[in-house]
C-alpha cells in the first residue's frame, strides 16, 4: 500500500498513514513530468489544489485505486478519467469550512468598508477620510449562490450583522432553507434583489461564467460581489467592464480563471477590486483538519471498507448498506447470465427493481448488473465505480425503472437486453436474506440457484424431449445436479434449465441443439 503525498499536505497526514501500515512518500513540489514518471508505483495519491491530476496522469497510473483531495474542491482532478479507470476520488468536505466561511465574510467586510485601499493610502502618507466612505451591512440583502456547508456558515455569520439572506441552490429543499432563515429564490431573482452576492458553488459546466454580462445586467447598480469558491464562475472580462461602468461597486476575489493570476488581468488595475491568492482555506487549523481527515478516511476504507467523502463512488457507499449485499450478488449473476444468453450485438439494457427495500438501491444494483454483464462481454476490469462509464463506452444505452411492488415477489430484480430484432429478460430474487435465486427467464417462471454450468433451452411441450437431452448428458458422463422446468401453455412451449456437474463441451451443446423439439439453446456459466 504505497501512498504519494504532494502539495505540502500537513505532516500529520503521512504520520497517520504510516502508523497504519502504509508506505508513504512525500513530495511537496512535483512537476507534471516527474509525476507521470513515478505515479505508476503508487496505489494512492493525496493532493491539495496545486497538483493537476489530469487524464494524462491517470493513464500513467495502472495501480492507482484512490485519489485523495485534502480539501473540498476537486476541480484539479479529472473525475471522469478517474471514474473510467475505476479510481475512487475522495475529498474532505467540512475540513476547511470554517476557514473558508470566515475568509468570505472578511472579504465582504473589507469590500464594504474599503479597508485594504484605505490601508495602502495611509501607508503612502495620506489621510483621506472622505475618499474611503463605505456602506453598512445591516439591512442589506445578501445573496448566497450555493448553500452548501460554507454557504450556510456564511449565512449564519452575516445574519448576525443584520443582513437579510436569500439564496440559490437547486439541491436544497425550501423547508430546510426556511429553518436557516434563508429565502430560496430562482437565480435571476437573486441577482435582481441582492445588494451583496457571495459565491459558494462548485465549478462545472452549469456554473462556468455564471456571472457574466447577461447576469450582471440584472443586478442592482452598486452591488458588491465576493467569490471565494472557484475561478471560472465569474467571467473576469465582463466583471471588469461592469466595475468600470459603475454597475458593480466593489469586488473581493480569492479565486481566478487562471492561477496564479496573470499580471495583465484587468481586475488588478481597478481600485475597487480586493484580491487574495486563493487562501480562503489557508489557516493552520484548516490545513491540519483536512490532512488528518483525509488520512483517517483512507484508514477507515482500508480497515473497514467504509467510504467517506467519495465524490464518484456513491454506488460503492450504497453497497455497504446492511442487507443489500445478497441483491448485489444476484444482480451481478443476472448480468453475467444475460451476457451469455442474449444476442451478441444487443445494446439496450433496462434494469427494473421492484419492492420498497430496493428503491434507494437502483444505482448500485444497476452498477452490479453492468459489472456482471461487462465482465463477460469485454476484457477490461469493471467495478461499481466505472460500470456506467464502461457501459457507455461499449455502446450500451441504459434505462433504470422502479416499480413499487410485484404481485409475486417482495423484492425483484429484472434485467432486459435487446437489439432491433430480439429481446431477452432474466429476473431474480433473494429468499431468507441470503438464498439467491433466478426466478424468471423471458416469459417463463422458473426457479434455480445461479451457480455452476447451466444448460438453458426452449422446447416443444411434448413428451420425450427432456429424456433425450438428459440421455446425451449421461453419454458425456455429466451428472445432473438440478432441473428446473416451466411451461407456456398458451404457446405450447416450455423452457428447461439443467444444472450440471462438470464442464460442458461445445460439441455437447451442439448435440443438445439438434434434439428434436429443442430451440434457443445456450450455456450459462456462473
Active site residues: 230, 259, 278
Name the nearest CA neighbour of 146 among 218, 68, 77, 206. Answer: 206
Cell of 445: 417462471
- Residue holding cell 473497514? 304
Measured CA to CA, the distance from residue 114 to residue 133 in angstroms comes to 8
CB 90 within 8 A of CB 309: yes
Cell of 162: 443584520
Measured CA to CA, the distance from residue 468 to residue 483 in angstroms comes to 14
Strand partners, 488: 493
- How would you list the strands of the sheet with 66-69, edge to edge? 23-27, 2-6, 44-47, 66-69, 88-90
CA-to-CA dists, residue 236 to 104, 161, 199, 261, 334, angstroms: 18, 29, 14, 11, 52
CB 346 within 8 A of CB 391: no
CA-to-CA dists, residue 316 to 86, 269, 336, 376, 464, angstroms: 11, 49, 19, 21, 48
- State the alpha helices, DSSP H only, in 24-87: 32-38, 55-59, 79-84
The dihedral of CA 487, 488, 493, 498: what is its sign? negative
The dihedral of CA 383, 386, 387, 391: what is its sign? negative
The single-letter DSSP state of residue 49 is S
Q: Which residues contact 387 (CB under 8 A, 6 or more apart)?
A: 315, 366, 367, 368, 370, 371, 374
Three-state DSSP state, 155: helix
Name the nearest CA neighbour of 108 among 75, 154, 169. Answer: 154
Amino acid at each position: 500500500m504505497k501512498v504519494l503525498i504532494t502539495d505540502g499536505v500537513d505532516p500529520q497526514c503521512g504520520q497517520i498513514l504510516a502508523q497504519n501500515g502504509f508506505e508513504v512518500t512525500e513530495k511537496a513540489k512535483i512537476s507534471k513530468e516527474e509525476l507521470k514518471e513515478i505515479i505508476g508505483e503508487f496505489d494512492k495519491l493525496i493532493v491539495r489544489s496545486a497538483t493537476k491530476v489530469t487524464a494524462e496522469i491517470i493513464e500513467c497510473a495502472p495501480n492507482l485505486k484512490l485519489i485523495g483531495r485534502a480539501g473540498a474542491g476537486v476541480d484539479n482532478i479529472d473525475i471522469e478519467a478517474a471514474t473510467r479507470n475505476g479510481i475512487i476520488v475522495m475529498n474532505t468536505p467540512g475540513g476547511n469550512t470554517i476557514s473558508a466561511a470566515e475568509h468570505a465574510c472578511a472579504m465582504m467586510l473589507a469590500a464594504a468598508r474599503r479597508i485594504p485601499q484605505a490601508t495602502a493610502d495611509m501607508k503612502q502618507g495620506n489621510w483621506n477620510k472622505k475618499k474611503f466612505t463605505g456602506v453598512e451591512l445591516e439591512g442589506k440583502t445578501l445573496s448566497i449562490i450555493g448553500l452548501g456547508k460554507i454557504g450556510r456558515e456564511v449565512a449564519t455569520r452575516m445574519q448576525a450583522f443584520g443582513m437579510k439572506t436569500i439564496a440559490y441552490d437547486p439541491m436544497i429543499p425550501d423547508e430546510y432553507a426556511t429553518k436557516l432563515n434563508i429565502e430560496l429564490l430562482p437565480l435571476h431573482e437573486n441577482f435582481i434583489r441582492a445588494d451583496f452576492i457571495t459565491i459558494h458553488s462548485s465549478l462545472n459546466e452549469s456554473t462556468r461564467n455564471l456571472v457574466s454580462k447577461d447576469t450582471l445586467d440584472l443586478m442592482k447598480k452598486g452591488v458588491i460581489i465576493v467569490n471565494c469558491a472557484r475561478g471560472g464562475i465569474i467571467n473576469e472580462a465582463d466583471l471588469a467592464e461592469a466595475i468600470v461602468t459603475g454597475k458593480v461597486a466593489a469586488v473581493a476575489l480569492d479565486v481566478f480563471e487562471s492561477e496564479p493570476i496573470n499580471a495583465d488581468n484587468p481586475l488588478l488595475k481597478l481600485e475597487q477590486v480586493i484580491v487574495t491568492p486563493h487562501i480562503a482555506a489557508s489557516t493552520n487549523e484548516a490545513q491540519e483538519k483536512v490532512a488528518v481527515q483525509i488520512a483517517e478516511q483512507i484508514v477507515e476504507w482500508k480497515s473497514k471498507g467504509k467510504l467517506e467523502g467519495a465524490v464518484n463512488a456513491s454506488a460503492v457507499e450504497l453497497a455497504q448498506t446492511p442487507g443489500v449485499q445478497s441483491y448485489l450478488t444476484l444482480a451481478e449473476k443476472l448480468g453475467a447470465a444475460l451476457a451469455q444468453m442474449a444476442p451478441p450485438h444487443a445494446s439496450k439494457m433496462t434494469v427494473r427493481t421492484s419492492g420498497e427495500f430496493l428503491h434507494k438501491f437502483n444505482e448500485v444494483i444497476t452498477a452490479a448488473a453492468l459489472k456482471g454483464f461487462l465482465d463477460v462481454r469485454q476484457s477490461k476490469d469493471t467495478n461499481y465505480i466505472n460500470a456506467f462509464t464502461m457501459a457507455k463506452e461499449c455502446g450500451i444505452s441504459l434505462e433504470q425503472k422502479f416499480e413499487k411492488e410485484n404481485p409475486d415477489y417482495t423484492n425483484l430484480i429484472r434485467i432486459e437486453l435487446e437489439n432491433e430484432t430480439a429481446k431477452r429478460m432474466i429476473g431474480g430474487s433473494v429468499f431468507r436474506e441470503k438464498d439467491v435465486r433466478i426466478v424468471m427467464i423471458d416469459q417463463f417462471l422458473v426457479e434455480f440457484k445461479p451457480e455452476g454450468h447451466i444448460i438453458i433451452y426452449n422446447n416443444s411441450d411434448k413428451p420425450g424431449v427432456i429424456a433425450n437431452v438428459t440421455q446425451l448428458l449421461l453419454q458425456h458422463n455429466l451428472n445432473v445436479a438440478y432441473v428446473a422446468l416451466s411451461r407456456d401453455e398458451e404457446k405450447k412451449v416450455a423452457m428447461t434449465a439443467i444444472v450440471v456437474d462438470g464442464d460442458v463441451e461445445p460439441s455437447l451443446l451442439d448435440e443438445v441443439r439438434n434434439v428434436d423439439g429443442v430451440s434457443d439453446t445456450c450455456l450459462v456459466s456462473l
